[in-house]
Structures are given as structure tokens and as C-alpha cells.
């Protein structure tokens, strides 16, 4: 659990309000009590669940971990000029994750698509993660697919709160709305986006709901009272 | 136009929606019209935004599941399936073979039900009333199957971690066999009404054409992408949950127009039927639920689980920080991305074709807005 290569170990600050109210069972996930199966043949003896100590040491399941990969053909074929911005290439649960620096992001994405050996012409998805408390608060995540190689890869880059991220909407049209959504819900600005405005929330809404410091019950009270004519929404 | 000096036209902005019967939900399209021709279209979405992704971060892994039923409520079974596949992969949970096969069967039933609803509404938008009634007749049979197995018709909460809630009820297999024996003939009926119907052809052929290359660039997936001739089906490209054990074809279009997408969805219903036939013929015995801890606490990590939903590639990007609640669950909604291409598809068409194109994209606003 304490491998140092985990970029996404969350800091204490991320445990925002409302994050801890669920019961935490002491048993680790693999040893947790099993639900009695529905089929009668296995559930004949009533298994007391709560207070029984974990049954005899089971075969420890392999806990998945991030493994560094240095011979991934995809990232070896990258143009040398853009390859310098690759910080690490890892595997997790058989999915490739490539972390790049923000400065080289755009050039790398162009190369991933235009490089004839790679041809990552399908931007499957794009989103962001909020690591509140980290110096580089946001992590942008791009899922790319190459029809030619049949490979799905993930590109990650970190950005500080005030940093502007280059838009990839000129590379993949898909990114247009996806970046608008990230801007809407995380408040991350994109440079070079043709039409950066809110998409899911109203244009004059204040706050970015998917940030970790935005409580789940929080609402833009001024907006609600002026548009919905509700004086106080029950919280 | 040469006559522009004589009959000067002005670009007119027309609001379609948010309450419009053919937008299939609460969608507002700001159309810029030159006469009856669409110059530009801007979609205004978010009317149904409920913050499902935010809610998931504040629920345990299991408690989040019913919310995914309610994103794409037409394909609730697929939605839960995609999420659970991701969670099970992160937890290293094995699903018994019988449960895996039943899951595939029910997901394919959901695909048929979803395509039926699409065909019904798409046809009624264009003006074919009868198809609507026929489709709902068959969809009803599927919903009855859902009800007998899941206890609900629409928001089914279909699967549980490591398997199913319970085994198939008595008489279920027979009901499935009855359905799949009958259903291909029903599809023939729809085809009789539409496939060579001159009005249908006139309204769908050459409407909303998009080339394969462009469709890829717009990130389209599912039947919309395959209509343009791109051979990409997640069930084949990255098989999940045991799809590699079953035989089925992936129908492809040539012209990338509304008609091709119609033909593909019709053929997909037949192929789903074929999968169901194989499942029910070779359904193994055994438990329907594997072993899973009561509290799910995946190790720190992330997984992007993708499945072929009825509307396209449906993805769940799940990030765990090692606690009982996910750090982030990102839903990759197929229709959010295909609606984006509406602007591109409607340009130059007539106002009436906008309705056909919205129909052919098969959007569900609950999923777009999440």
C-alpha cells in the first residue's frame, strides 16, 4: 500500500466533509466477511459476520500496483522532440498510463495522433481529478484509442490551480465539449478553445462542483434565489 | 443564391425545445435558419444535471450503483454492468460463469429494448405511427422479463457485485426461448413497414452524412460510428465479461447517413438475439454470485472500464484512494459525445431533418446531463 510511485495517494486534506461517515470495517477488503450466497447449497450454515475475526489466513490476493514500464512500443515510437516531456510510463491493471509535463502536452498529443506508427485518432474521454492540497492541484486525464494498434492508453498531466491548460480541441473535435465540461465542473481554463463556457451548469453559476472543497450540499444560493425564487433551500 | 438581391433573407434564430416532443428529453437547440435551411445549431444542455459524479464520490462503491441506473435510464442494465465490471476488476473479484452468461444475456436484452424504443420514437418523429405501437409491444415483453428477474422494469439495479441478486426464476428460460423464437419475425415486420418505404427512404437517405474519418475525429461510437463504416465494437475490440465466447457479427454501413444507422440498429437487434440464443442454449449450472467482501475497498489505483452500450462506448473511469468511497467516478457518456456532432450533422439540412438527425443519434438526456 505504501509504494512510493503512487501519484494518486490522497493527502489528508482531501478527506472533505461527508467523506468519512460510512462505517469503516477494520478488515482489509480481501478478508472482509462474505455475504451469504443466495443459492442454498452454499449458504446452509449461517455465517455470523460482524464479530467473527477474519477466517484463517486466506491466500493473499495480489494487490494491484503501478508498475513502471520502459519498453512500451507506443512510447518508444514517439518523436524524440516530444518524448522528452514524458515523465513516466506505468501499467496498472493492464492499462497503460503515461504521465507527461504540462508544457509538452500539446505537442505530444499532436504527435500521438499524427505519427503514422501510432495514429491515436480517437479521443475516448477526457476528464480531470482534483488533488486538493497538492501543489499541482489538478490532474488532467485523457483516454486515447488507436484503431490501428487497437490500444487504449491514458495520458495524465498535472496542473496547478492557476495554470492554463492547452486545449486539444484542434486535434480532436471531441475535446470541445469535454473541455467545456471540465471547465464547468472543475474551473480549469483551456487556452485555444474556440468556445469556452459552461455546459451543464447555468452560465451565471458560481463555483465548481467537482472540486473537492465544494461540499456536496453546497449550492449557489444567490443563483437559486434569483432564478428559482426560492428564498432558502433546505440543506 | 442569385436572387438574393430580390428576396433578401435574414438568418433567423429559432428555439427548439427545451420542451419539444422530438428532442427526447429536455434539450434545447438554438437553430440559426436561413429560410428553412439550418445554418448553425447550438445545443443547450444541463437541464437534467443531477451531479451523479459528485454523488458517487460521497457514496460507497455499492451505494453508487442505483445512480447509474438513472443516468441512461433506457439502458440501465448496461450502465450498471459497465460500472460493476470496473469495480470487480479493481477488487480482483471473480464472477461465476453462470452469472457472467446471464449478465451478457440481460445486457443484450437491454440492447434490444433500447433499440426498440429508439426505433419507435425515431419512426414516430418522422411520421410512422404504426412502428411505434409494434415496438412497444415487443419491448413490453422484455420489460416483463426484467421485472421477473430484477424486480423492476426501468431502473433495474440489475446486477450485484460478483454476480446477480438471485438466480433465474421458474419459467424464465422458457420465456426467453419464446421471445427469441418470435422476435426475428417481429423485426421482419418492422422492416416491411420501413426498409423499402419510399417516405422513409426519402426522409433518411442522405440525411446527416458523416464520413468514417470525420466520425472518428468527433469521437462518435456505437451504431453512429459503424454507420460510417468504421469497424469498431468494444465487444470485439476489447472483449469484456466473456463476450469472446459468443459469435456475432458487427454490421457496418457504407454511406454514414441516417438510413444506414437505421439498418445497423435493426441488424444489431438480430445479432443480440443470436447472442441470447447461444447463452440460453449453453447456460452452465452453478452459483450466480461469487465471493465478495461486504465493504468494497479497492487498493489505490484506477481503472477505465468500457463496454459497448446500446448507444456507443460507455466508459467508467474509477479512481480509488483506498477508502470506502471512490475518489472519482467519471462516466464517459456515449450520447454526450454524439450530441456534440449534431451541429456538424445538421448544417445545410432542412429544419425537419433536424428531428430525424436527433433521432438517429439516439440521445438520452439523462445520460448527457448526468
Neighbours of A197 (CB within 10 A): 9
CA distance A103 to chain B (A): 24
Per-residue confidence band for A53, with pLDDT thresholds at 50, 70 and 90: low
Average pLDDT of A37-63?
52
Average pLDDT, chain B: 88
CA distance A13 to chain B (A): 13
Interface residue B169 vs chain A (CB under 8 A): no
Do A39 and B288 make contact, defined as CB atoms within 8 angstroms? yes
Interface residue B58 vs chain A (CB under 8 A): yes
With a pLDDT cut of 90, the percent of chain B lying above it is 35
Give the pLDDT score at B166: 86
Give the pLDDT score at B116: 93
Please list every residue in chain B whose beta carbon sits closer than 8 Å to the beta carbon of residue A122: 216, 219
CATH code for the domain of A92:
3.30.460.80
Q: Alpha-carbon torsion B106, B111, B112, B116, what sign?
A: positive
pTM: 0.82
Interface residue B175 vs chain A (CB under 8 A): no
Per-residue confidence band for A58, with pLDDT thresholds at 50, 70 and 90: low
Give the residue carrying C-alpha cell 447555468. A202
Taking 70 as the threshold, does the pLDDT of residue B244 lie above it? Answer: yes
Per-residue confidence band for A37, with pLDDT thresholds at 50, 70 and 90: very low
Beta-carbon pairs below 8 A across chains A and B: 169
- Residues pairing with A45 in the sheet: none
| Residue A60 lies inside a defined structural domain of this protein | no
Do A174 and B330 make contact, defined as CB atoms within 8 angstroms? no
Picking from B54, B102, B120, the residue whose alpha carbon sits closest to that of residue B326 is B54
Cβ neighbors of A71 (< 8 A, separation 6 or more) are none
Quickly count helices (H) and strands (E) in chain B: 15, 8
Taking 70 as the threshold, does the pLDDT of residue A20 lie above it? Answer: no
Alpha carbon distance, N-terminus to C-terminus of chain A = 37
Do B324 and A22 make contact, defined as CB atoms within 8 angstroms? yes
The model's pLDDT over B85-135, given as tens digits with 9 standing for 90+, comes to 999 988 888 899 999 999 999 999 999 999 999 999 998 888 888 888 999
Taking 50 as the threshold, does the pLDDT of residue A35 lie above it? Answer: no
With a pLDDT cut of 70, the percent of chain A lying above it is 72
Average pLDDT of A37-59?
49
Taking 80 as the threshold, does the pLDDT of residue A21 lie above it? Answer: no
Name the closest residue on chain B to residue A147, using Cα atoms.
B232
| Residue A205 lies inside a defined structural domain of this protein | no
Q: Alpha-carbon torsion A159, A164, A169, A174, what sign?
A: positive
B11-16 and B28-34 strand pairing: antiparallel
Name the closest residue on chain A to residue B88, using Cα atoms.
A93
Taking 70 as the threshold, does the pLDDT of residue B359 lie above it? Answer: yes
The model's pLDDT over A124-182, given as tens digits with 9 standing for 90+, comes to 999 999 998 888 889 999 999 998 888 899 999 999 988 899 999 999 999 999 999 99
- Best residue of A24, A138, A144, A200 to probe chain B, by most B CBs closer than 10 Å: A200
| Residue ranges in A149-235 assigned as alpha helix (H) | 175-186, 221-227
What are φ and ψ of residue B63, in 5° steps? -65, -20
A95-100 and A151-159 strand pairing: parallel
Please list every residue in chain B whose beta carbon sits closer than 8 Å to the beta carbon of residue A124: 219, 306, 313, 315, 332
Do B91 and A29 make contact, defined as CB atoms within 8 angstroms? yes
Rounded to the nearest angstrom, the gap between the alpha carbon of residue B108 and the centroid of all alpha carbons in its chain is 11
With a pLDDT cut of 70, the percent of chain B lying above it is 97
Taking 70 as the threshold, does the pLDDT of residue B31 lie above it? Answer: yes
CB A9 within 8 A of CB A65: no
| Residue A136 lies inside a defined structural domain of this protein | yes
Alpha carbon distance, N-terminus to C-terminus of chain B = 43
**Lowest mean per-residue pLDDT among A2-16, A100-114, A193-207, B132-146:** A2-16
CATH code for the domain of B231:
1.10.645.10
Rounded to the nearest angstrom, the gap between the alpha carbon of residue B305 and the centroid of all alpha carbons in its chain is 16
Give the pLDDT score at B84: 92
Name the closest residue on chain B to residue A12, using Cα atoms.
B321
Q: What is the ipTM of this complex?
A: 0.86
Give the integer Cα–Cα distance in Å for A206 and A220.
Answer: 6
Taking 60 as the threshold, does the pLDDT of residue A69 lie above it? Answer: yes
Average pLDDT of B170-199?
90
Angle between helices B172-194 and B129-150 (to 10 degrees): 170
My answer on whether omega of the bond before A86 falls inside 30° of 0, hence cis, is: no
Give the integer Cα–Cα distance in Å for A144 and A91.
Answer: 15
Do A95 and B313 make contact, defined as CB atoms within 8 angstroms? no
Please list every residue in chain B whose beta carbon sits closer than 8 Å to the beta carbon of residue A64: 90, 92, 299, 301
Give the residue carrying C-alpha cell 446527416. B208
CB A159 within 8 A of CB A140: yes
Picking from B361, B357, B346, B360, the residue whose alpha carbon sits closest to that of residue B34 is B346
Do B90 and A39 make contact, defined as CB atoms within 8 angstroms? no
Do A93 and B303 make contact, defined as CB atoms within 8 angstroms? yes
- Using CA atoms, how far residue B354 sits from B31, B36, B37, B311, B350, in Å, is 9, 11, 10, 19, 7
Do B313 and A22 make contact, defined as CB atoms within 8 angstroms? no
The model's pLDDT over B32-53, given as tens digits with 9 standing for 90+, comes to 888 888 988 998 998 888 889 9
Give the pLDDT score at B369: 87
- Quote the number of domains for chain B: 1
- Quote the number of domains for chain A: 1
Give the pLDDT score at A11: 44
Give the pLDDT score at B279: 92
Count Cβ neighbours within 10 Å for each residue of A138-172 and write b for 16 or more, e otherwise. bbbbbbbbbbeeebbbbbbbbbeeeeebbbbbebb
The burial class, CB within 10 Å (0-12 / 13-18 / 19+), for B8 is exposed
Picking from B247, B367, B244, B242, the residue whose alpha carbon sits closest to that of residue B310 is B367
Which domain range does residue A115 map to? 67-198
Picking from A175, A138, A154, the residue whose alpha carbon sits closest to that of residue A86 is A154
Interface residue B218 vs chain A (CB under 8 A): yes
Give the integer Cα–Cα distance in Å for B111 and B270.
Answer: 11
Q: Which B residues in the span 61-120 are in contact with A, Cβ-Cβ below 8 Å?
A: 89-92
Which domain range does residue B129 map to? 2-369
Three-state secondary structure of B136-194: HHHHHHHHHHHHHHHCCCCCCCCEECCEECCCCCCCHHHHHHHHHHHHHHHHHHHHHHH
Taking 80 as the threshold, does the pLDDT of residue B338 lie above it? Answer: yes
Give the integer Cα–Cα distance in Å for A178 and A127.
Answer: 7
* Closest Cβ–Cβ partner in B217, B303, B332 for A125: B332
Average pLDDT of A209-214?
89
Do B330 and A14 make contact, defined as CB atoms within 8 angstroms? no
Give the integer Cα–Cα distance in Å for B77 and B111.
Answer: 9
Average pLDDT of A22-36?
42
Name the closest residue on chain A to residue B287, using Cα atoms.
A39
CA distance A229 to chain B (A): 17
Average pLDDT of B306-319?
92
CA distance B326 to chain A (A): 10
Greater confidence, A49 or A136?
A: A136
Amino acid at each position: 500500500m505504501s509504494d512510493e510511485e503512487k501519484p494518486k495517494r490522497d493527502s489528508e486534506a482531501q478527506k472533505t466533509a461527508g467523506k468519512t461517515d460510512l462505517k469503516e470495517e477494520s478488515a482489509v477488503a480481501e478478508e472482509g466477511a462474505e455475504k451469504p450466497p443466495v443459492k442454498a447449497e452454499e449458504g446452509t450454515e449461517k455465517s455470523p459476520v460482524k464479530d467473527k475475526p477474519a477466517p484463517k489466513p486466506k491466500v493473499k490476493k495480489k494487490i494491484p500496483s503501478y508498475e513502471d514500464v520502459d519498453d512500451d512500443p507506443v512510447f518508444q515510437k514517439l518523436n524524440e522532440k516530444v518524448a522528452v516531456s514524458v515523465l513516466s510510463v506505468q501499467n496498472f491493471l493492464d492499462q497503460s498510463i503515461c504521465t507527461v509535463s504540462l508544457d509538452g502536452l500539446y505537442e505530444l498529443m499532436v504527435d500521438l495522433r499524427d505519427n503514422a506508427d501510432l495514429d491515436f485518432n480517437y479521443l475516448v474521454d477526457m476528464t480531470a481529478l482534483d488533488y486538493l492540497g497538492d501543489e499541482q492541484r489538478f490532474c488532467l486525464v485523457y483516454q486515447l484509442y488507436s484503431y490501428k494498434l487497437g490500444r487504449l492508453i491514458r495520458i495524465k498531466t498535472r496542473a496547478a490551480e492557476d495554470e492554463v491548460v492547452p486545449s486539444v480541441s484542434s486535434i480532436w473535435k471531441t475535446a470541445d465539449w469535454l473541455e467545456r465540461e471540465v471547465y464547468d465542473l472543475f474551473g480549469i481554463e483551456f487556452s485555444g478553445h474556440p468556445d469556452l463556457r459552461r455546459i451543464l451548469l447555468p452560465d451565471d453559476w458560481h463555483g465548481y462542483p467537482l472540486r473537492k472543497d465544494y461540499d456536496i450540499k453546497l449550492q449557489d444560493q444567490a443563483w437559486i434565489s434569483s432564478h428559482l425564487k426560492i428564498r432558502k433551500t433546505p440543506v | 443564391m442569385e436572387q438574393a438581391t430580390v428576396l433578401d433573407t435574414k438568418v433567423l434564430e429559432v428555439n427548439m425545445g427545451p420542451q419539444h416532443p422530438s428532442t427526447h428529453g429536455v434539450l434545447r437547440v438554438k437553430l440559426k435558419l436561413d429560410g428553412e435551411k439550418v445554418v448553425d445549431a447550438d445545443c443547450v444542455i444541463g437541464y437534467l444535471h443531477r451531479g451523479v459524479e459528485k454523488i458517487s464520490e460521497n457514496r460507497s462503491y455499492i451505494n453508487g450503483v442505483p445512480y447509474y441506473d438513472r443516468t441512461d435510464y433506457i439502458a440501465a442494465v448496461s450502465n450498471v454492468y459497465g460500472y460493476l465490471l470496473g469495480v470487480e476488476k479493481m477488487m480482483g473479484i471473480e464472477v461465476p460463469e453462470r452469472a457472467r452468461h446471464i449478465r451478457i444475456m440481460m445486457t443484450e436484452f437491454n440492447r434490444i429494448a433500447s433499440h426498440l424504443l429508439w426505433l419507435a420514437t425515431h419512426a414516430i418523429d418522422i411520421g410512422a405511427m404504426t412502428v411505434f405501437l409494434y415496438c412497444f409491444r415487443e419491448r413490453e415483453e422484455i420489460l416483463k422479463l426484467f421485472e421477473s428477474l430484477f424486480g423492476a422494469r426501468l431502473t433495474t439495479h440489475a446486477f450485484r457485485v460478483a454476480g446477480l441478486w438471485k438466480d433465474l426464476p421458474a419459467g424464465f428460460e422458457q420465456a426467453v426461448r419464446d421471445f427469441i423464437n418470435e422476435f426475428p419475425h417481429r423485426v421482419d415486420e418492422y422492416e416491411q413497414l420501413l426498409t423499402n418505404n419510399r417516405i422513409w427512404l426519402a426522409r433518411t437517405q442522405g440525411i446527416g452524412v458523416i464520413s468514417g474519418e470525420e466520425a472518428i475525429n468527433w469521437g462518435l461510437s456505437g451504431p453512429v460510428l459503424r454507420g460510417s463504416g468504421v469497424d469498431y465494437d468494444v465487444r470485439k475490440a476489447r472483449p469484456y465479461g466473456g463476450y469472446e465466447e459468443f459469435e456475432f457479427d458487427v454490421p457496418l454501413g457504407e454511406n454514414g447517413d441516417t438510413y444506414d444507422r437505421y439498418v445497423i440498429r435493426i441488424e444489431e437487434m438480430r445479432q443480440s438475439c443470436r447472442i441470447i440464443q447461444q447463452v440460453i442454449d449453453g447456460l452452465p449450472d452453478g452459483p450466480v454470485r461469487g465471493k465478495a467482501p461486504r465493504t468494497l475497498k479497492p487498493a489505490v489505483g484506477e481503472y477505465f472500464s468500457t463496454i459497448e452500450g446500446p448507444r456507443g462506448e460507455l466508459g467508467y473511469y474509477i479512481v480509488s484512494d483506498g477508502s470506502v468511497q471512490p475518489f472519482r467516478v467519471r462516466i464517459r457518456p456515449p450520447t454526450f459525445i454524439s450530441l456534440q456532432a449534431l451541429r456538424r450533422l445538421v448544417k445545410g439540412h432542412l429544419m425537419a431533418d433536424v428531428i430525424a438527425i436527433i433521432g438517429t443519434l439516439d440521445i438520452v438526456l439523462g445520460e448527457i446531463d448526468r
